[in-house]
Structure 1
Amino acid sequence: MKRSGPLLTLLAGLLLGLFLLTLNATTGTRPASASGGDSPGTKVSPSPTPSPPSSPTTSTPPPAPSGSPPPDADYAGRTDDDSSAVAVSLRDGKAIAYFCDGRDKESWLKGDVEDDDSMKLTGGNGGVLNGTLKDTRIRGTVEIGDQEYGFSAAKAVKPSGLYRATETVRDAEVDGGWIVLQDGRQVGILKRDGKPSPAPEIDPRTGAVTIDGERLTARPVNP
């Protein structure tokens, strides 16, 4: 019985030592965080900063092409002294004009319209028309012989405008020009073999005109 005492003491010491080792091992281990915290050495990338919304791009219309000819149109009006009439017809950058006093003085003139809507038209007997189109009106001068006439011609709407008829009537070469103004008045000259006289009125709706007993048709003039 006396020998069991030391054995019990040794066994108790071993148990105590084992308990202490187990306790140290348990307290020396760091438990994982239940809250999901970052583990050592793990880098967390910052959230990308959102780019500011881009402002909408305002589309700028392309510039209007330069040098384009003015729209096709007809113009008719009176000289500043109210003695004569002037009509101008524009087509594809070309112009033809007619100056007429309704008695014995006339001139047909033609030329180009420049990029700035100005024009210099020339005709027989040294006639010259200088004009500029602005908005719906042509303003300028006509030189006939040694006289200069200022004029203003507004945009014409059919049946107003410029008309001409050329035909042979009773062995005579007939050439007639007419300007039909916006108020319906007509100014024209009819030449028979080159001799001028006041022209008879035409029907502006059809261009019909009777000359020396024969029915002719005056047609709109285009360059």
Structure 2
Amino acid sequence: MKRSGPLFTLLAGLLFGLFMLSLNATTGEKTSSSYVSESPGAKASPSPAPTKTTPSPAPTTAPLPHADYAGRTDDDSAAVAVTLRDGKAIAYYCDGRTQESWLRGDVEDDGTMRLTGRHGAELNGTLEEGKRISGTVDIDGGHHAFTADRAKKPSGLYRATATVRGAKIDGGWIVLPNGSQVGIFTRDAEPSAAPRIDPETGAVTVDGQQLTAHPVTP
């Protein structure tokens, strides 16, 4: 019996050692598992702040000029003058003999215009960069294309109305950039070629009486 005592003691020590090793392994697994569950990588990333966008500015259009335009039809049979003021236009078509028409209307922001006159007369035109007006005039069944360049005084559009010796006088003149004039003088609704005016003063003599032709504005 004395020999079995140390043997039992040795076996007890081995069993205790195995128990401690098993306990340490189990504790290590729990600690590792707990560490992984609390890892910062498991936390959700914050959402990025919304990006503010600035709207693009609306396109702007150049203001319509206050200007006069004068030129001739493409077939050189007549002259056309147009005066622009505050988005409105007045035009005069004249062949210098018997055919004429005064036309009026609005000018759109994009420079297009549709002007109308008596007896169905119509002018359709487009202002091109403020430098010229190109378009067509329809009058008495005729269709006339024209180009009118920007005019500097004394070029432009003139008109005179009066009563001379009991007759109603109405004269219209287009002074072109080259200094030439095209106009019609109507006496009691009878048209004829207009006498020349002084473009610097607008002075014109009719039947011995001096009248003044004034620049036309809408």
With the length of structure 2 as denominator, give the TM-score of the two structures: 0.72
Is 2:189 the counterpart of 1:165? no
> Larger C-alpha radius of gyration, 1 or 2?
1
Cross-structure match for 1:129: 123
Cross-structure match for 1:102: 96
Cross-structure match for 1:222: 217
Change (3 A) 1:185 1:115: same
Describe how 1:36-47 pairs up with structure 2 within 5 A. none
Cross-structure match for 1:145: 140
Cross-structure match for 2:66: 72
- Post-superposition shift, 1:83? 0.5
d(CA) in 2 for partners of 1:130 and 1:185?
25
Cross-structure match for 1:179: 174
- Post-superposition shift, 1:66? 3.8
CA deviations on 1:71-123 (whole Å, 9 max, x unpaired) are 10000000000000000000000000000000000000000001110000000
d(CA) in 2 for partners of 1:92 and 1:98?
18
d(CA) in 1 for partners of 2:153 and 2:165?
31
d(CA) in 2 for partners of 1:187 and 1:64?
44
SS class of match (1:201) = coil
Where structure 2 has 5 or more consecutive residues not aligned to the other structure, the ranges are: 1-55
Candidates 168, 190, 207, aligned match of 2:202:
207
d(CA) in 2 for partners of 1:205 and 1:179?
13
Deviating 4+ runs (over 4 angstroms): 62-65
Change (3 A) 1:166 1:121: same
Is 2:82 the counterpart of 1:83? no
Q: Which amino acid aligns with 1:154?
A: D
CA deviations on 1:156-204 (whole Å, 9 max, x unpaired) are 0000000000000000000000000000000000000111000000000
Cross-structure match for 1:113: 107
* Matched pairs, number: 162
Candidates 180, 183, 208, aligned match of 1:188:
183
- Give the root-mean-square deviation of aligned CA atoms: 1.5
Where structure 1 has 5 or more consecutive residues not aligned to the other structure, the ranges are: 1-61
Q: Which amino acid aligns with 2:124?
A: N
Q: Is the 8 A contact 1:76 1:155 kept in 2?
A: yes
d(CA) in 1 for partners of 2:66 and 2:57?
22
d(CA) in 2 for partners of 1:181 and 1:65?
36
Segment of structure 1 superposing worse, 73-82 or 63-72 = 63-72
With the length of structure 1 as denominator, give the TM-score of the two structures: 0.70
